[in-house]
Amino acid sequence: MLQRCPRTRRIGKVHRYIIIIQAASFEDVDNVELPAPPQPGDTIETNLGTCIVTGTESMPAESEYAGKIICRLPGAR
């Protein structure tokens, strides 16, 4: 009989990140679970669609989040 592996075994350890989506006239916040933070220039799916990562920041160890991911909507500068 096959046994199911726990989630962390199948995909590795995941971390929670806050996503800050910046646009010309507003800013929105989302969250995501990823094995590692993306690099600037990478794309990431958010509640507003695909965004371009512009930077990342780490959070204190006692935070429930591993870090912040700052991104922008395509076309926004």
* Residue 21 vs residue 23, higher pLDDT: 21
Report the pLDDT value the prediction gives residue 38, as an integer from 0 to 100: 95
pTM for the predicted model, two decimal places: 0.79
44 within 8 A of 30, measured Cβ to Cβ: no
Q: What is the mean pLDDT of the chain?
A: 86
Q: Cα dist. 29→6, 7, 19, 56 in Å? A: 29, 26, 6, 14
pLDDT at position 69: 97
